[in-house]
Amino acid sequence: MATDLQVTTNKLSDNQTQLTVKVPVEKIQNKVNGRINQVAKTAKIDGFRKGRVPVSHIRAQYGAGIQQEVINDVIRDTVFEAIKAEDVRAVGMPNIDDVKLEDDFLVYQATVEIFPEIEVQGVSEVEVERHTASVADEDVDTMIENLQKQRQEFADKDGAADEGDQVTFDFEGSVDGEKFEGGSSEDFKLVIGSGQMIPGFEDGIKGMKAGEEKTIDVTFPEEYQAEDLAGKAAQFKITLKKVEESKLPELNDEFFALFGVTEGGLEQLKADVRKNMEREIKNAARSQVKQAVFDGLLDKNEFDVPQAMVDQEIERQRNMMMQRFAQQFGANPDNFNKDMLPDELFEEQAIRAARLGVIVARVIESQKLEVDQARVETFIKEAAENYEDPAEVIEYYTNDQQQRANIESVVLEDQVVDYLLSEATVTDKEVSYQDLLASQQQQAGM
């Protein structure tokens, strides 16, 4: 920090501090004179040759504007210098006001939101239920069946539509005898049992044959997204055009090769599938217990967080949702209108995430936790196993500083969880593979 900068601080609240900054006028005047001289060399003014405009003329005509520009630049250059010098843990951009020239100084005030200073409470009082699961042979068989279904083909069927069949049909819906928007379609394809339609719709098609017509009665769920249809009884006229039955691919060398298995056949595929499922279990279990311990800790630590932290988290969550939409619908995320995703949609989760960030940071500080580089290496190696060329992935994460920093952040958070679990009361509960993964998916969608 420049020795001629004078700073005093005044804590306005737990989350806000005001700095009064004094900058010697001499420093500003030197910059103003330098800029005026530079303008004089390049200005084009009627009656003067370029580079021959008197400095006094430039000062008279442009001096006030140049001085204001210099003041703005000086404030920009010194405010973060002042924040750093006073060891203020600022969050977001400072708010500048009360700018004035006073005696031999430029004086301004910078109001900043600050990172909350808290003591984490109730760590030993947290009660955590930790879910564990194992991969059974039946789970592996089910997973391989799912892999077959992902590559299934459909062939014409003469008989009635049943579970697992694909049907092509036209439908026309009505409520109280009136058609409604989005209630009709032609040549609609549906796999019976997929759960794609509202309850009762797919069951109503079962038993129909190609060429048949039928009107089915269903009721829209109370929580249906279209409020004008929620909970209402409806009728759908169905015209069934085609019934196709599923043809699963055979478990042969051609199928095994789709998953990189060239030797060992079905047993090797099962071994590979089990390994992937066990990796999923490990990640899901870690995610579940992390969520449980963080929820317990948040319940015992209520405090306000700066609005700047909340705003940053809202923006991060909004961008993540836009990216998910883009991936799901194959659209450019830049084409999404942010007004479609208002702040209120994310505010509750953003406040929670901001508070959690403060708690995690405080635990790291109080326990003097540092990133375990051995765990970082293990994390990278395990992540690389999902790729065709693990060595290339390891090299990428090892040499790219930003990517490695991201992994170090994840590992450090895991270390925080380990500490919290060591202090909390933990009980283990065995759950099924499917239930453990379902809970993780539910958390990811929150």
In this predicted model, what pLDDT tens digit does every residue of 260-295 receive, in sequence order?
899 999 999 999 999 999 999 999 999 999 999 999
Q: Would you place residue 349 in the very low, low, confident or very high pLDDT band (cuts 50, 70, 90)?
A: very high
* H or E element, residue 434: helix 433-444
Torsion (CA) 122, 123, 125, 126 in degrees, nearest 10? 120
| Averaged pLDDT for residues 105-117 | 91
Residue 40 has pLDDT above 90, yes or no: no
What number is the average pLDDT over the span 20-38? 80
The pLDDT of residue 1 is 40
CB 350 within 8 A of CB 315: no
pLDDT (mean) for 231-254: 95
Asked whether residue 157 carries a pLDDT value surpassing 60, the answer given is yes
Is residue 273 within 8 A of residue 425, CB to CB? The reply is: no
Specify whether the CB–CB gap between 87 and 3 falls below 8 A. no
Q: Name which of 268, 281, 255 is nearest 135 in CA terms.
A: 281
Instruction: Identify the pLDDT of residue 444.
Output: 60
Which residues touch 433 (CB under 8 Å, ≥6 apart)? 133, 134, 135, 136, 139, 277, 281
pLDDT at 148 over 70: yes
Q: Which of 36-40, 75-79, 255-259 is the most confident on average?
A: 255-259
pLDDT exceeds 60 at position 49: no
Q: What percent of the chain has pLDDT over 90?
A: 62
**What percent of the chain stands above pLDDT 70?**
90
**Is pLDDT of 53 > 60?**
no
Residue 185 has a pLDDT of 93
pLDDT at 389: 84
Instruction: Supply angle C-alpha 153, 159, 160, rounded to 5.
Output: 95
Q: Alpha-carbon distance 294 to 358, whole Å? A: 12
Q: What is the pLDDT of residue 186?
A: 94
Mean pLDDT of the chain: 88
| pLDDT range class, residue 25, cuts 50, 70, 90 | confident
Residue 185: how many other CB atoms lie within 10 Å: 12
* Structure token digits, residue 26: 């001499």
CA 307, CA 153: separation in Å to the nearest integer? 53
* DSSP one-letter code for 250: P
pTM of the entire predicted model: 0.71
Is a pLDDT exceeding 80 seen at residue 361? yes
**Structure tokens that stand for 11 in this block:** 């804590």
| pLDDT higher than 80, residue 35 | no
